[in-house]
Structure 1
Amino acid sequence: MPITRTAIALSLGLFAGAGHALEMETKTLDELYADALAEGGEFVLRAGGDEPSQIDYYLERFKERFPDLRVTHSVDVSINHAPRFDNARAAGGEENIPDVIQFQTLHDFNYYMERGLLDAYKPANWDKVYPDHKDPHGRWMGLYGVTFSNYVNLDMVDPDNPPRDALDYLDPSLKGRIILTYPHDDDAVLYQFWNLKEAYGWDYLEKLVAQEPVWTRGTAMPYHAVNNGWYAASFTTFWAFENFPGLNTAFMLPEDDYFLTWFQSAGIPTQAKNKAAAKLYLNWMLSEDMQGSWLQFPVRMDIEAPGGYGSVLRHNTSPGDFHRWMLKRPMVERFRDQMRQLIGPAHGPEAVDLDYTVKPE
């Protein structure tokens, strides 16, 4: 066949019958639930996180909504989950392959997508997800926003002048009273330190280390430490935009500085066994019920964040920049080595193995 526009179109599958655009899901949650039960009623989730109970906030609601579905899940930092998934694939078959992978390591989704390792699927409400935070062909999608910023114990800082911007953390009164996650142990925190270096120079990082913060693995320990009054402040942790009652703490965005937000993303492995259950989960995660009750920025454009924070687009943050930064692996790994040299190696158990009832020293 001569090389013509027709030949090219045929080779790319652009004519009817050779392929078609992937449509969004049209089934209701109850219909998808029935499909999942008919499939076998099992669902296996691998979720990035720092402590085993970290996704219980929404997973328990998912289980209550679909009580006959047998849910198996594990939470671990994404840099551990991703190679486990790679090893399970290398072993062949469906054994140990989760039905949904849900990671912070956004560059992994590009890797899997480029190699045809994720199913193309568009849940209901797909069109309402921010365009930059989903694969346009349905291989992966953001599920909910995560913001790391200032979390302070108001009994331990001046409540009228708490630390909010980077230079505030150099206040001599905070020396030895700050708790931070090792940046070389968590890519999101590493990104925070990269931006501090870009904004304030290497000298700032040296001054911050001289403040003698307590360093910990994982980003959950800082919010436990602030809640318990063990330490006064952290900026390498997550909390709800609307504080929980009974705590004299506050989660605050910076006044001037750029801050970190990303959308925790998910996809269905091509080797997944329980794909109907996987579809049910993704549809529920993008539902108005879930998105409207999320603690921080929703991934849907039509739903605003709680506490009057509105849309992520109104703030000095860029989830898209974090994703682009994560793709620059040689630069990321080189900066990780620099942080290890500046701060020292990460000590202590893995984040999911920490005892969160014991004060880190």
Structure 2
Amino acid sequence: MRSPIVLALSTLVTTTLGSSSENRTLDEIYQAALKEGGVVTLWHGGDEKTQQTGLKKAFEARFPGITLNVTVDLSKYHDSNLDDQIANKNVYVDSIILQTLHDYPRWKKEGALLNYKPSEFANVAPEFKDPEGAYYGYSIFGWSTSWNPAKYNSSLADFSDALLPELKDKLILTYPNDDDAVLYAFDLVIKKLGVKWFDALIAQNPKWVRGSATPGNQLALANTSYIAAFGTGGRSTNVNTSRPTDAPFVTWPQTAAILKDAPHPEGAKLLHNYILSDEFQFATPKWTVRTDAPANFPNIFEEKNTNVTSFLPFMLDRANVERLRFWFETRLGTAQGISPLEDDL
């Protein structure tokens, strides 16, 4: 079911439709980007330095002579560094793609974002975009259940499975007080299964780590002692994944914007048109932000156990986010360990 809450909340932004969508072809924008200098600087949210290597390689192969300088870091850290750039009037980032959805309306209100509609903007679901084109989702992200089939030959799916006796001392989980999306994942489960579920989970003695991809990456190691992870990300050919059914799981539109003072606006426009294009969006069947996907693509709005629009209102309520973070911190302590970007997992 589609939620009436859209990413461009009417209480936070204007509803003027603004400019029309881009009418140049990708190749025409490509030529403009080459003349501009052939560089794009992208800050992308994530917790492994190499998470966007695939995007970089695909983009640079598609557009020879264009360099995509992409830096992956936790979105909350990108946010604060971008705020410094904006405050100091020294913006050197062209494009941002982040998990921190609550900051986009604020940046728009501050006049920091470029109102720009890529050519496929009309086909992006209205729930995922600002009507003036200041920001828009480009990919659907979400958390799942993961396990190592070499160490556990049955399937795992539900959050209640985390309490199975054979998983005691064998779970690896991300600190919910270190990542807002993981925080929301745990909040949804506790609202459905109760605090007693979380108390029982703690009694399982899981290993708590930083970074949403760290559990899945750890599970893939041949010498790992861990079997499963719940409510986190990470993908590997050695790890099976499934979607929980006994409590909601988290999905959201990872959201993109171009800085108004971007030093390479044509390069940024090329990137944003590319990531919303048919060739990128429809390369393989998966959830997509576009409403005109081929018939064999799954529809995120038809998923029964997730609400892809509910992460935004959660993120906007910062008082509640802080309260929840400290609730978990009193039980787990502060997040321990080096940055997930430096843990080599």
Summarize the Cα distance change of 1:117–1:295 in structure 2 as closer, same or farther, 3 Å threshold: farther
2:57 is matched with 60
* SS of residue matched to 1:352: coil
Q: Normalization by structure 2: what TM-score?
A: 0.90
Summarize the Cα distance change of 1:178–1:293 in structure 2 as closer, same or farther, 3 Å threshold: farther
1:4 is matched with none
Whether 2:215 is the aligned partner of 1:251: answer no
Aligned partner of 1:199: which letter? K
How many residues are matched?
328
1:202 is matched with 195
1:186 is matched with 179
1:141-220 superposed matches below 5 A: 141-159=136-154, 162-220=155-213
Which contiguous aligned blocks of 4+ residues in structure 1 show a shift greater than 4 angstroms? Answer: none
Aligned partner of 2:41 among 13, 36, 44? 44
d(CA) in 2 for partners of 1:81 and 1:348?
20
Aligned partner of 1:137 among 125, 132, 135? 132
Summarize the Cα distance change of 1:297–1:70 in structure 2 as closer, same or farther, 3 Å threshold: same
| Superimposed CA distance per residue, residues 147-184 of structure 1 (whole angstroms, 9 cap, x where no aligned partner) | 1111111122232xx22111111111101111110000
Q: RMSD of the alignment, in Å? A: 1.9
Aligned partner of 1:324: which letter? P
Summarize the Cα distance change of 1:191–1:304 in structure 2 as closer, same or farther, 3 Å threshold: farther
d(CA) in 2 for partners of 1:47 and 1:324?
22
1:345-356 superposed matches below 5 A: 345-356=334-345
Aligned partner of 1:76 among 70, 73, 92? 73
d(CA) in 1 for partners of 2:57 and 2:271?
12
d(CA) in 2 for partners of 1:151 and 1:217?
16
Identity %: 35
Point out where structure 1 has 5 or more consecutive residues left out of the alignment: 1-13, 357-361
d(CA) in 1 for partners of 2:234 and 2:342?
20
Point out where structure 2 has 5 or more consecutive residues left out of the alignment: 1-14
d(CA) in 2 for partners of 1:295 and 1:144?
12
Whether 2:277 is the aligned partner of 1:287: answer yes
Aligned partner of 1:45: which letter? L
Alpha-carbon contact 1:304-1:310 (below 8 Å) kept: no
- Answer with 78-87 or 201-210: which moved more: 201-210
Aligned-pair distance for 1:257?
2.6
1:5 is matched with none
* SS of residue matched to 1:118: coil
Alpha-carbon contact 1:42-1:69 (below 8 Å) kept: yes
d(CA) in 2 for partners of 1:58 and 1:303?
20
d(CA) in 2 for partners of 1:318 and 1:347?
31
* SS of residue matched to 1:145: strand
Q: Normalization by structure 1: what TM-score?
A: 0.86
* SS of residue matched to 1:319: coil
* SS of residue matched to 2:85: helix
Whether 2:225 is the aligned partner of 1:228: answer no
Alpha-carbon contact 2:157-2:245 (below 8 Å) kept: yes
Aligned partner of 1:155: which letter? A
| Superimposed CA distance per residue, residues 71-109 of structure 1 (whole angstroms, 9 cap, x where no aligned partner) | 212100001100000111222234xx2100111000010
Alpha-carbon contact 1:58-1:290 (below 8 Å) kept: no
Aligned partner of 1:310 among 289, 292, 298? 298
* SS of residue matched to 1:298: coil
1:335-350 superposed matches below 5 A: 335-350=324-339
* SS of residue matched to 2:310: helix
d(CA) in 2 for partners of 1:289 and 1:340?
43
2:3 is matched with none
Aligned partner of 1:346: which letter? A
* SS of residue matched to 2:309: helix
* Largest Rg, 1 or 2: 1
1:10 is matched with none
d(CA) in 2 for partners of 1:51 and 1:295?
24
Aligned-pair distance for 1:59?
2.2
Alpha-carbon contact 1:298-1:304 (below 8 Å) kept: no
* SS of residue matched to 1:111: helix
Aligned-pair distance for 1:239?
4.9
d(CA) in 2 for partners of 1:38 and 1:79?
33
